Chain A
Amino acid sequence: MPKRILIVEDYEVIRNSFFLILEDMGYMVETAETGEKAIAMAKEKKYDLIFLDLKMPGLNGVETLRELRKIDKDVPVYIITAFYDEFYDELRRAHKEGIDFELMKKPIRGEQLATVVKGILGSESG
């Protein structure tokens, strides 16, 4: 059974490019353009990996992460963000609260994304 990945990203171009790259690798990929939608989807299905943009209108990445962790404490969640200190106060607060997440850099090229996902999930066939 292919691994299931959820992409939470408000910027359509990025969302679509992630979708195409990961689907082409054989993963089952779903997308959400808002944190609210991602939370609703996570309540319905179990994911093997979630990519979550940090800066989104409405619920931002950290707020969405807090809600996702109430649903699934174990799914790997990768916050997508530039590696710049100015974005990190809220992430540090969440971490101190005991909320688990990993980080993936933004921007990221297609082949880099593929490398990261292979490292996290291994074979797309599960």
Chain B
Amino acid sequence: MFEIKLYLTGQRKRSKKVIEDLEAFLEAECKGQYALEIIDVLEKPRLAEDAGILATPTVIKTAPSPKATVIGDLSNKEKVLAALGIER
């Protein structure tokens, strides 16, 4: 089971697109074997601070090891999945 955390700013159109894209990537590659937690840094900045987040959006794979992080442009499916170690 992949455990993924997505840190983003707000819940408006741009963030919703990031969420939709990431969920589509994960569904296609992990076939439901993933848990996605979404943290709105605007509402809970302390969680981002505690997690060592540098900027939004950031997606982190916390399980299975090793931990992996992607910051910034999350629109490239291949790049995001490869960086998180979620490969076909």
Nearest-neighbor residue (CB-CB) of B43 within chain A = A92
Give 1 or 0 for each of B1-12: 1 = CB within 8 Å of chain A CB: 000000001101
Taking the nearest CB of chain A, how far is it from the CB of B23, in angstroms? 20
Complex Cα gap A120–B10 (Å): 18
A91 at the interface (CB under 8 A from B): yes
B55 at the interface (CB under 8 A from A): yes
Are A92 and B71 in touch, CB under 8 angstroms?
no
In the complex, chain A residues 94-126 whose Cβ is within 8 Å of any chain B Cβ: 95, 98, 100-105, 108, 112, 115-122
Interface size on B (CB < 8 Å)? 20
A44 at the interface (CB under 8 A from B): no
B10 surroundings in chain A (CB, below 8 A): 95
Q: Which of B43, B45, B56 makes the CB contact (< 8 A) with A102?
A: B56
Are B14 and A100 in touch, CB under 8 angstroms?
yes
Q: Which A residues are within 8 Å of any B CB, using their own CB?
A: 78, 82-85, 88, 91-92, 95, 98, 100-105, 108, 112, 115-122
B63 at the interface (CB under 8 A from A): no
Complex Cα gap A98–B12 (Å): 8
9 more CB-based (< 8 A) A-B contacts, given A82-B49, A83-B49, A118-B72: A78-B55, A85-B46, A91-B42, A95-B12, A100-B14, A101-B9, A103-B9, A104-B55, A119-B55
Q: List 8 A-B contacts (CB under 8 A).
A: A102-B9, A102-B55, A104-B54, A104-B55, A104-B56, A105-B49, A116-B72, A118-B72
A103 surroundings in chain B (CB, below 8 A): 9, 41-42, 45, 48, 55-56
| Given A92-B42, A119-B72, A105 contacting B48 (CB threshold 8 A) | yes
